[in-house]
Amino acid sequence: MPKSIYVGNIPFSATEEDMHSLFGQYGEVISINFINDRETGRFRGFGFVEMDDASAIKAIDALNGKEIGGRALRINEAQERQPRPRRDY
């Protein structure tokens, strides 16, 4: 079963291909999704990588804190997004 991995503090110069190469060392990468700002379309510095369970655990252990482009990556298992309270205007 695939596991989603949160990847934070990604250098703004990094590409999805860079992350695919990095995570691919630990197993098959199913998907990569960089998160962009809704208004500007600019990369926000974090994203998600999807891998199978065993590969994801290896990647998290090996890459959390690894410095890429002068920034230490923050990597952990992605958590389900909490619903936001609805705002009535």
Question: What is the domain partition of the chain in residue ranges?
Answer: 13-40+54-71
- Look at 40-44, 54-58, 71-75, 79-83 and tell me which has the smallest mean pLDDT: 79-83
Could you give the count of Cα atoms lying within 13 Å of 2 in the half-sphere of its Cβ?
A: 11
Q: Is the pLDDT of residue 81 over 80?
A: no
Q: How many CB atoms lie within 10 A of CB 67?
A: 10
Q: Is the pLDDT of residue 89 over 70?
A: no
**C-beta of residue 73 within 8 angstroms of C-beta of residue 63:** yes
Q: Is the pLDDT of residue 71 over 90?
A: yes
Quickly tell me which residue has 């389900």 as its tokens.
80
For the question of whether the overall pTM of this predicted structure is more than 0.75, the answer is: yes
Quickly tell me which residue has 């998160």 as its tokens.
35
| Amino acid 1: pLDDT | 82
